């Protein structure tokens, strides 16, 4: 668990109880609102965001070109991207007092995780998996929205437990992830602990970037009733559970931050004997969506707009997956994100969910894994999507804890942290099935080298990139 520097004055994070209560009431009502009522909320908040950005952000004032913000169509605005915005940070933010050099000094100090920046703002940084990390700044208004969405839109998996223990006094929640940087998950946890010290004994974090044996030992000491982590980490913990090395009995597992395939969900649920609930979030908007009781992922469309677009930036049809996703954050006026290229690939569905909610149903393919370009000398090069590769390895071969790295035009390395002859045999079987699949795709003969007992390389946040293309 993160420790603060001794003798530092304790500062409470950005939090407005009256505003939070008001936003929470609206979030609760919107969960059962009609499609028209949701559209009205979204349109009103978009107009307010554009008006604020035009008045207070020099960068967006230029982008809007003097047009009346209330009459601008979102689709007519240009796409914005992280490198461009970070390079113009002083012109991007709407508060001149927020300086990038000061933010970088702040986020370079792990002892200040969860501490308010300038006494007013909540700050976290992105992982930097797609380039230089971005730094995101939220005020009390934005945090009120994130708090309400996290608290009220997550499904209640154990209604009797909630009835007899409405304040969660019997819960022990452990986050398993990266705890040494100013990342959204750990900052959010430390912020809650600062706001309510009574949570300190019931809301903890364990670093995933440590040897598995030590991780297992810390988790067993905590004996969590709920575990929050990435899907790939949940799979690793399930492997440890099935091997008899991890003896915990959580009643819920919460995942997010990576793609959770149906096979991964089944594997984790069977290993722990408890339900898995998945959510969708990003550094750019903390709580993009969460699953309902029917298992559908609902976009929090009353507070965020996601546009699924093709490679040329044109909207794709409902039911089709786009090349990337453009995000507009309706809650954060301090650091406006309007048609921001998020990098994820999503599918927006037209049909309403059986749960009754009119919030849009989406499917998400994360940005993490690469498309492989393969081909033997003298043959045509073919591209193979990461979802197809992971489907073969998970559903057909039953391999979950893996990393596939391209080492040449027709050469791959398939590795797993599992050790022993059984693990080596599982890798060989998976490699055989994968080679046959790639041959069917026209990739020719692909050499696949197996490496068991080799920990997978993870990013700064602990997220696992499972399929890595050749840099050449």
Q: Quick one: three-class SS letters along 217-275?
A: HHHHHHCCCEEEECHHHHHHHHHHHHCCCCCCCCCEEEECCCCCCHHHHHHHHHHHCCC
297 three-class SS? strand
> CA–CA separation, 299 vs 276, rounded Å?
18
| Local confidence pLDDT in tens for the 472 residues of the chain | 343 333 344 455 667 788 889 999 999 999 889 999 999 999 999 999 999 999 999 999 998 877 887 788 999 999 999 999 999 999 999 999 999 999 999 999 999 999 999 999 999 998 654 446 799 999 999 999 999 999 898 877 665 555 444 455 678 999 998 888 898 999 999 998 888 877 777 899 998 767 778 889 999 999 999 999 988 788 889 988 998 999 999 999 999 888 888 888 999 999 999 999 999 999 999 999 999 988 899 999 999 999 999 989 999 999 999 989 999 999 999 999 999 999 888 999 999 899 999 999 999 976 567 778 888 666 678 877 675 787 788 767 778 778 999 999 999 999 988 888 888 888 999 999 999 988 888 888 899 999 988 877 766 655 667 888 876 5
CB 257 within 8 Å of CB 290: no
Q: What are the helix (H) ranges across 97-182?
A: 100-107, 140-152, 159-164
**Cβ–Cβ < 8 Å for 200, 230:** no
* Cα distance between residue 40 and residue 350, in whole Å: 18
The DSSP call for residue 93 is S
- Kindly state the helix (H) or strand (E) to which residue 62 belongs, with its residue range: helix 58-64
Q: How far is CA 468 from CA 37, 355, 371, 419, in A?
A: 43, 38, 8, 22
Residues linked to residue 363 through DSSP beta bridges, in sequence order? 347
> Is residue 362 a contact partner of residue 346, using CB atoms and an 8 Å limit?
yes
Compute how many other C-beta atoms are within 10 angstroms of the C-beta atom of residue 440. 8
Dihedral of the alpha carbons of 449, 450, 453, 459, in degrees to the nearest 10: 60
Cβ 363 vs Cβ 42: under 8 Å: no
What single-letter DSSP state applies at residue 324?
E
What are the residues facing 464 on neighbouring strands?
458
Q: Would you say 82 and 131 are in contact if contact means Cβ atoms under 8 Å apart?
A: yes
pTM, rounded to two decimals:
0.79
Residue 72, both tokens: 């601008």
The DSSP secondary-structure symbol of 335 reads S
**Long-range pairs for 347-351: beta carbons < 8 A, 24 or more residues apart:** 347/308, 347/319, 347/320, 347/321, 347/322, 348/299, 348/306, 348/308, 348/318, 348/319, 349/318, 349/319, 350/318, 350/319
DSSP SS3 for 457: coil
Give Cα 139 distance to the centre of its chain: 21
Q: How many helices (H) and strands (E) does the chain have?
A: 14, 20
Chain-centre distance of CA 93, in angstroms? Answer: 23
Strands 252-255 and 226-229: what pairing? parallel
Residue 291 to residue 311: CA distance in whole angstroms: 28
């Amino acid at each position: 668990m993160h420790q603060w520097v001794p003798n530092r004055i304790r500062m409470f994070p950005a939090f407005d109880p009256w505003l939070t209560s008001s936003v929470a009431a609206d979030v609760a009502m919107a969960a059962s609102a009609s499609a028209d009522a949701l559209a009205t909320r979204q349109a009103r908040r978009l107009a307010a965001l554009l008006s604020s950005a035009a008045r207070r952000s020099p960068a967006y004032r230029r982008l809007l070109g003097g047009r009346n913000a209330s009459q601008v169509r979102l689709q007519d605005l240009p796409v914005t991207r992280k490198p461009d915005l970070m390079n113009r940070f002083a012109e991007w933010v709407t508060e001149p007092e927020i300086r990038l050099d000061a933010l970088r000094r702040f986020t370079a100090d792990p002892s200040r995780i969860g501490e308010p920046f300038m006494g007013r703002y909540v700050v976290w940084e992105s992982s930097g998996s797609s380039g230089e990390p971005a730094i995101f700044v939220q005020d009390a208004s934005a945090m009120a929205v994130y708090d309400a969405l996290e608290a009220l839109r997550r499904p209640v998996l154990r209604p009797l437990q909630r009835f007899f223990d409405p304040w969660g006094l019997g819960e022990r929640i452990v986050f398993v992830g990266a705890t040494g940087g100013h990342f959204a998950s750990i900052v959010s946890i430390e912020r809650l602990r600062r706001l309510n010290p009574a949570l300190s004994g019931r809301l903890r974090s364990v670093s995933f970037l440590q040897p598995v044996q030590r991780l297992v030992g810390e988790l067993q000491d905590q004996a969590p009733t709920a575990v929050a982590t990435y899907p790939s980490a949940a799979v690793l913990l399930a492997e440890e559970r099935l091997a008899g090395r991890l003896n915990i009995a959580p009643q819920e597992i919460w995942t997010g931050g990576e793609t959770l395939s149906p096979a991964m969900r089944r594997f984790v649920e069977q290993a722990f004997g408890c339900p898995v609930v998945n959510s969708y979030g990003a550094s750019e908007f903390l709580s993009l969506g969460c699953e309902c009781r029917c298992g559908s992922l609902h976009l929090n469309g009353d507070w965020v707009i996601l546009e699924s677009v093709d490679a040329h930036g044109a909207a794709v049809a409902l039911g089709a997956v786009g090349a990337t996703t453009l995000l507009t954050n309706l809650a954060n006026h301090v650091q406006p994100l309007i048609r921001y290229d998020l990098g994820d690939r999503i599918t927006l569905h037209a049909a309403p969910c059986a749960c009754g909610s009119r919030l849009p149903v989406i499917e998400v393919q994360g940005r993490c894994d690469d498309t492989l370009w393969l081909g033997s000398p003298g043959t045509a090069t073919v591209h193979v999507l990461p979802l197809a590769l992971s489907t073969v390895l998970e559903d057909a071969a039953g391999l979950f804890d893996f990393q596939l790295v391209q080492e040449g035009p027709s050469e791959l390395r398939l590795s797993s942290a599992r050790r022993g002859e059984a693990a080596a045999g599982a890798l060989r079987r998976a490699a055989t099935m994968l080679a046959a699949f790639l041959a069917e795709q026209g990739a020719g003969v692909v050499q696949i080298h197996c490496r068991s007992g080799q920990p997978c390389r993870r990013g700064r946040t602990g997220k696992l990139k499972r399929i890595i293309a050749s840099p050449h």
